[in-house]
Amino acid sequence: MAFHSYGHSFSFSILFCMFAMVTSQLTSSCYESTCPQALSIIRSSVISAVAKEHRMGASLLRLHFHDCFVNGCDASVLLDDTSSFTGEKSAGANVNSLRGFEVIDDIKTKVEAVCPGVVSCADIVAVAARDSVVALGGPSWNVGLGRRDSTTASKDAATKDIPSPLMDLSALISAFANKGFNTKEMVALAGAHTTGLARCQLFRGRVYNETSIESNFATSLKSNCPSTGGDTNLSPLDVTTSVLFDNAYFKNLINQKGLLHSDQQLFSGGSTDSQVTTYSNDPSAFYADFASAMVKMGNLSPLTGKSGQIRTNCHKVN
């Protein structure tokens, strides 16, 4: 009887997951019977990786963002170049910058060992981003599952679609609107910069040329980011709590301590000032809005049904 009950549940879960894929509707229960160990494997691997190197949490979160903003959440960002396409890794926003590939590879290897050909690389990236935020003290959210992996990638698309840290507010609003996000959601997603590091070459212009920066903060940054050289020197995006996922990022903006030009643009006398103020005073509001925006981002143009494939190796097409 118990065996029959399990079989019924197994069949129902598979059908539900297949239905979700065909209708482009992701579901958090997709792998409950087809690969019940998947989510726990991802979670434990992320916790271990973040404990080993705190920065990895921010890197895995960014990997998901850079994947979804380029032709949808399809793990195209993981593909190595081939003779038929130049992938996204060499795009300006990604080259010598995106990290965490080895963590995704480790997770994929472990998941393939227990349920081969079932869990997509795209789903692993999406869940790892959520688990990273939780590991750093941030909010959780239900990750829809059932994505499939792309069979191609585009450096040009990555170059065009990923917002630049040099953008003014109007350009940021447009870049996110192009992906279906309103201004409030953009500000919430920008809060991901409450954790992680950025290279000197990305904020040098702000430190040496802009006036909307707190003087002591600018001085401290100049010691690590000279006017010439030191391009790869790193500074925290959130000078207050550089690792934790909290709302200090928004407090920093109010105090003119945004590291990147695009960060400080969110509090510069424009339309987003009030939202920044809200989040600086109310971490629960930020957490709720960030989680909601991440769910929306994870639903950007997923490959479903017979589109794409479940890659065995996340770096290359089967």
Structure tokens at 109: 């290897």
Q: Is 304 annotated as a binding residue?
A: no
Q: Is 67 annotated as a binding residue?
A: yes
What is the per-residue burial (b if ≥16 Cβ within 10 Å, else e) of 277-307? Answer: ebbbeebeebbebbbebbbbbbbbebbbeee
Q: Is 81 annotated as a binding residue?
A: no
Put residue 198 in one of left, alpha, beta given phi > 0 → left and psi -120 to 50 → alpha.
Answer: beta
Cα–Cα nearest to 294, from 55, 163, 132: 132
Judge whether 4 counts as a catalytic residue.
no
Q: Is 74 annotated as a binding residue?
A: yes
Q: Is 159 annotated as a binding residue?
A: no
Q: Is 246 annotated as a binding residue?
A: yes
Q: Is 80 annotated as a binding residue?
A: no
Q: Is 70 annotated as a binding residue?
A: yes
Q: Is 305 annotated as a binding residue?
A: no
Determine which one of 64, 66, 261, 315 is catalytic. Answer: 66
Q: Is 133 annotated as a binding residue?
A: no
Q: Is 198 helix (H, G, I), strand (E, B) or coil?
A: strand
Q: CB 198: neighbour CB atoms within 10 A?
A: 19
CA 35 vs. chain centroid, Å, equals 24
Q: Is 168 annotated as a binding residue?
A: no
Q: What is the DSSP string of 260-301?
A: SHHHHGGGSSSTTHHHHHHHHH-HHHHHHHHHHHHHHHHTSS
Structure tokens at 239: 């000078």
Q: Is 283 annotated as a binding residue?
A: no
Q: CB 215: neighbour CB atoms within 10 A?
A: 9
Residues annotated catalytic, as ranges: 66
Return binding residues.
67, 70, 72, 74, 76, 88, 163, 193-194, 238, 241, 246
Annotated binding residues for Ca(2+): 67, 70, 72, 74, 76, 88, 194, 238, 241, 246
Annotated binding site for substrate, which residues? 163
List residues forming the annotated binding site for heme b. Answer: 193
